[in-house]
Structure 1
Amino acid sequence: MCNGIDDESEVVPNPKTRTGLPDISGADVDVDGPFCIIVMGVSGTGKSTLGSALAKTLGVPFIDGDDLHPESNVKKMASGQPLNDADREPWLELIRTRAEEICNEQKERAEERILDGETSPSPEGCHMGVVIVCSSLKKYYRDILRGEKKPATDTNRIPEHLELPHPDALATYFAFIKGDRETLMNRMLNRQGHFMKANMLDSQLNTLESPEGEGGVIVVDARQTTEEQVETIRGGLRKERKIAN
């Protein structure tokens, strides 16, 4: 099991024969320490499929953000009531906290490996980081996930002052699956058992505040295959972390 993470998160090593994708060396992504990649976008873009494949390729835990909703949110959604920002804020904070916990556990185990005489801080094919799926449609939500803003106590007020993360804070990147309405609608129509309707997609597209132009954002095309999307993210991650190779 990579990084010794408990069973609450899926951790799958990435031998080439399992995914058909080449492995990346520890120097490729770990030189700047642990990282968190959040796969984001509207419903129907294939976030879970991409997130799972990316986590397997990098040998890091995979978390579906929806699994971390508090019971109050689950009950509200089950009754057909939409969530508001007051509902989402503690959930987004929990996602950030869980990512930090996982990466702190990984760092502790890496230190133990070095003290035990291991030549690498992580098992072969594994890295220190986590991949999370979360729609993250608004910049305010993404700022919480980056650890840059504390939730507003008043749901009608967005904090005026940006609270920058600590210099040693977990490096966070967003993989934005971008697609036009026609592409996304065709994807959903071809997915068996998917309940998303056109008006629901339109609502999410209207809510979406594109992350393009924000720091640490890697854009992937919804028309690409999952394997191509993974390669795009790996290349973007190297660039974001200023990796030469």
Structure 2
Amino acid sequence: MSLGIVVMGVSGCGKSTLGAALADALGIPFVEGDGLHPPANVAKMAAGIPLNDEDRRPFLDNVADALIANRAAGCVVSCSALKRGYRDRLRARAGADIRFVLPLLSKDSLVLRMSAREGHFMPVQLLDSQLATLEMPDEEEAVIVVPGDLPLDAQLAAVRGALSGETA
């Protein structure tokens, strides 16, 4: 069975770092979700304007298409997937068997991380809108939640342990 994994969460939570490391550990491709945004979305966020549901649809479809394109080998994609409806859209388009991983951090830690980034289109002032939009997954979604302030190797171990428990 190939794995389709979406590392989700608000900006600054470590989606890209954890996603790339997880893909490397699993020997499957990593797709950076930031590169899947339509140019209009990037421009809007760079201007400090939050995306709405309509803005997010083509992005979510691009994420699902990346999962579909890599179905044979499996892949890890970073994507905020903040609302249950967004995650459901990904499942409906790419297949119900995709798994979500959510690194969680405090708002203070997120602000510190975002403030330290150079050259990223997402400004810190959009963090509050992302936190307000985030719908925490319930048990039914079976999202793998890891503390985002753990060292990367501990996050990887937690995710791999959860994944191996499912496939054992």
TM-score by length of 1: 0.60
Structure 1, unmatched stretches of 5+, are 1-32, 107-127, 149-164
Partner of 1:133: 78
Check conservation: 2:100, 2:144, Cα contact below 8 A.
yes
Q: Which amino acid aligns with 1:143?
A: D
Partner of 1:55: 23
Partner of 2:4: 36
Provide closer, same or farther for how the CA distance between residues 185 and 78 of structure 1 changes in structure 2, counting only shifts above 3 A: closer
TM-score by length of 2: 0.85
Once the two structures are TM-superposed, the CA of residue 84 in structure 1 deviates from its matched residue by: 1.9
Provide closer, same or farther for how the CA distance between residues 212 and 196 of structure 1 changes in structure 2, counting only shifts above 3 A: farther
Partner of 1:64: 32
Q: Is the aligned partner of 1:93 residue 2:61?
A: yes
Partner of 2:107: 181
Q: Alignment identity in percent?
A: 45
Provide closer, same or farther for how the CA distance between residues 186 and 214 of structure 1 changes in structure 2, counting only shifts above 3 A: farther
Provide closer, same or farther for how the CA distance between residues 61 and 196 of structure 1 changes in structure 2, counting only shifts above 3 A: same
Provide closer, same or farther for how the CA distance between residues 67 and 177 of structure 1 changes in structure 2, counting only shifts above 3 A: same
Give the 4+ runs in structure 1 shifted more than 6 A: none
Provide closer, same or farther for how the CA distance between residues 229 and 129 of structure 1 changes in structure 2, counting only shifts above 3 A: same
Check conservation: 2:5, 2:76, Cα contact below 8 A.
yes
Q: Give the Cα separation in 2 of the matches to 1:99 and 1:196.
A: 27
Q: Which amino acid aligns with 1:132?
A: V
Structure 2, unmatched stretches of 5+, are none
Once the two structures are TM-superposed, the CA of residue 201 in structure 1 deviates from its matched residue by: 2.4
Matches within 5 A, 1:1-245: 33-77=1-45, 81-103=49-71, 106=72, 128-147=73-92, 169=95, 171-189=97-115, 191-193=116-118, 196-197=123-124, 199-241=125-167, 243=168
Q: Give the Cα separation in 2 of the matches to 1:45 and 1:81.
A: 20
Whose RCO is larger (CA < 8 A, sep 6+)?
2
Q: Which amino acid aligns with 2:144?
A: I
Once the two structures are TM-superposed, the CA of residue 71 in structure 1 deviates from its matched residue by: 3.7
Measured on the aligned residues, the alpha-carbon RMSD in Å equals 2.3
Deviations 1:163-199 (A, max 9, x none): xx8xxx462111101122233334445x3537743x4
Provide closer, same or farther for how the CA distance between residues 178 and 78 of structure 1 changes in structure 2, counting only shifts above 3 A: closer
Q: Give the Cα separation in 2 of the matches to 1:40 and 1:181.
A: 16
Check conservation: 1:40, 1:137, Cα contact below 8 A.
yes
Check conservation: 1:172, 1:216, Cα contact below 8 A.
no
Count of residues in Structure 1 that have an aligned counterpart in Structure 2: 166
